[in-house]
Structure 1
Amino acid sequence: MKDQLAFYAFFFLLYACFAALSSAQDFDFFYFVQQWPGSYCDTKRSCCYPTTGKPAADFGIHGLWPNYNSGSYPSDCDPDSPYDASQIKDLIRRMQEKWPTLACPSSEGHHFWEHEWEKHGTCSESILDQHSYFQAALNLKNKINLLQILKDRGIEPDGGNYEVSDIKDAIKDATGFTPWIQCNVDEGRNSQLYQVYMCVNTSATNFIECPVFPKGRSCPQEIEFPVF
C-alpha cells in the first residue's frame, strides 16, 4: 500500500512539473510591433486622432504579440481575464503618448488596449500579468528609437521614397537584429512604410533574432515614408 501511495505521489509530482513547464512554454517569442502614424492615416479609410490630441510624429506601439516558431500564434487565451484599466492606471499617461490609438471614432485608447490585452496579452499570462505586459511593451519602446535610427541614416518621414533594404540595414546596424517591414498603400496605391516588427524573448526583456518572419506580401523594393 505504501509503495502504491509513493508511486501515485511521484506520478502527481511529475505531472505537476510537466504542467508547469508546458504553461511556461505557451509560446516561443514575441513580435514587438511599431507603426508609423503617417502611414496609418494616409489611406483610403484615413484615421481619427485620440481625444488627447494629435500624437507625436513618432513610431507608436501597435502591440506585443506572442508567437510560435512555426509562424502561427495563440490568441484570446483567457476570457476570464478581461482588460482592467484600474490595473494600469499608473501607465495610462505613457501609453497615451507611446501607444496611441488612431482608430475612428476618436477615443482615449482603452478600446485599443483592451483588444491588445485580451487577444494577445492573455496568451502571455504565465509570464506577464496585465500590468507587466503593458509595462514590458513600454520598456521595449524605450530601448529602440526607430525614428532616430532612420534619421541618422538620412531616411526621413518627408514623403520621399527609400529602399527597403536601406531601412532594414539601418535598423539592424543600430540594434544588431533583423527587422521585418510591413507596408500598406495610400489612396494613390503607393506602397509606404507602415509597421516594423522586431522579435523579443519570452520574458519580453530583450530583442532577439527572429525565428520566423510573418507571412504576407513583401514590400516592393522602394517605398514611401510619408509625412505625419
Structure 2
Amino acid sequence: MDSKKLIMDIFKMSKTDSKIVYDPFVLSLMWPQGSCHYGRYEHIQDKNERMRLIQKSTKKTCSECNMPTDKRNWTIHGLWPSSDTLTEEEKRKHLYYCREDEVDEGSFRTDLRNNLKSKWISFGKRSDSRFRQYEWNKHGTCAKIDKLDSPKKYFKKTVELYVKYQPGIYLHEDARIISKGTCPIKIILNHLKKFLGAIPIIVCYQLKNGSQYIREIRICLDKELKNPINCKNTLSSCFCWVELSKHSVHLPPSRCKSQRRRGRGNTLYYVTEMRNRMIIDGK
C-alpha cells in the first residue's frame, strides 16, 4: 500500500471516529438576491473593491444569477454540524473536512437531482454541482449520524428539511412585508419564530453607503434533526428595518435614524435590547 495514502487514511479515520463534539445542526438558507450580490464578488480580496462592486450590483433591477422560479423562495446553503462552544481552530479539527468523498449526483434518483438543481443553487464562482460537493466535503462528512452518513442521505435529508422549513411563502403572506416591501426586522424575526417554533439567526451584510442586505437565515435543529431550537446571536449583524422585494432584501439606512426618536438614543442599543427582550419574554 502507498505510504502516503496510508497516512491520509489514518488521518481521516482519526477525525471521523472522534467523539461527537457538535451541539445543534444548522440549516442555512440563502435569500437569493442578497446572496447573488454578495456571492459574485466574495472571492475579491480587497474589501473596499468588493464592497464597491456589490454596491454597484445592488442598483440593478434584474438579477445576474440563476434564480428560483418562485421569487418568494429561499435556497439551500447547507446543513452543518455546529457548536456554540468550540473555537474556530477546534471547529477546523472536528467539524470541517472529516474526509473526502466524490459526490456522484448521477446515481441519485431523478426527483432528488431535480430538487438539487432548483433548490440548492450557487451564487458564487463555483458551479451548482461543485458548490454542493464543497458543502458535503466541508460539513456533511462530519455529521456523525446514520441518516446523514452518505452524500445521497445528506442531500436528501437537507432537501426534506428545506421543504419543511423554507419560509418564503409564509413571510410574504403578511401585507406589512409585501405592501411597500419594508418593515421592522423584528416583524421578520417574530414571523420566523412563529413559523418555526424557535428563533433563527438572520445574517446581513453592510455596504459603505450604510445599506444593509439580508443574506441568509440559519435555523438551528436538534441533533436528531426533528425540531428547531433557539439559536444564539439571532440578529448579530442586522439592524433596524428590512425590505423584502422581488429584487432584494434591503435595510435602508434612513430607516435606522427613525429608531433614535424612540428615546433609546442609540440604534445598536435599541436593536440589541429588542432582541434580548424577544428571546427572554418570547414577544
CA distance in 2: counterparts of 1:206 and 1:174, whole angstroms:
12
**CA deviation digits over 1:94-139, x for unaligned, max 9?**
011111222247x4x1011011100111111543121111111111
**CA deviation digits over 1:20-50, x for unaligned, max 9?**
xx75734222110111112123453457534
Structure 1 gaps, min length 5? 1-18
Matching of residue 97 in structure 1 with residue 118 in structure 2: yes
CA distance in 2: counterparts of 1:87 and 1:69, whole angstroms:
36
CA distance in 1: counterparts of 2:204 and 2:174, whole angstroms:
20
CA distance in 1: counterparts of 2:245 and 2:182, whole angstroms:
9
Contact 1:48 1:103 in 2 (8 A): no
Please name the residue that 2:191 is paired with: 170
Please name the residue that 2:240 is paired with: 221
Contact 1:184 1:192 in 2 (8 A): yes
Q: CA deviation at 1:171?
A: 0.9
For residue 238 of structure 2, give the secondary structure of its aligned residue in structure 1.
coil
Please name the residue that 1:49 is paired with: 65
Paired amino acid for 2:130: H
Paired amino acid for 1:204: L
CA distance in 2: counterparts of 1:85 and 1:115, whole angstroms:
13
Q: CA deviation at 1:174?
A: 1.9
Paired amino acid for 2:33: G
Change (3 A) 1:151 1:71: farther
Q: 2:155 aligns with which of 103, 109, 134?
A: 134
Change (3 A) 1:156 1:141: same
Structure 2 gaps, min length 5? 1-13, 39-52, 58-62, 248-283
Contact 1:31 1:197 in 2 (8 A): yes
RMSD: 2.9
Change (3 A) 1:184 1:89: farther
Q: 1:35 aligns with which of 23, 30, 34?
A: 30
Contact 2:203 2:214 in 1 (8 A): yes
Q: Point out the structure with the larger helix share.
A: 2
Please name the residue that 2:42 is paired with: none
Change (3 A) 1:201 1:161: same
Matching of residue 59 in structure 1 with residue 80 in structure 2: no
Identity of aligned residues (%): 24
Contact 1:42 1:186 in 2 (8 A): no
Which structure 2 residues correspond to residues 1-228 of structure 1 after superposition, within 5 A?
25-43=20-38, 44-45=53-54, 46=57, 48-50=64-66, 54-56=67-69, 57=71, 58-70=73-85, 72=87, 73=91, 74-79=95-100, 81-90=101-110, 91-104=112-125, 107=127, 109-127=128-146, 128=148, 129-156=150-177, 160-185=181-206, 188-210=209-231, 212-213=232-233, 217-228=236-247
Please name the residue that 1:4 is paired with: none
For residue 93 of structure 1, give the secondary structure of its aligned residue in structure 2.
helix
CA distance in 1: counterparts of 2:180 and 2:210, whole angstroms:
14
Paired amino acid for 1:67: S
Q: CA deviation at 1:179?
A: 1.3
**TM-score normalised by structure 1 residue count:** 0.75
CA distance in 2: counterparts of 1:198 and 1:60, whole angstroms:
13
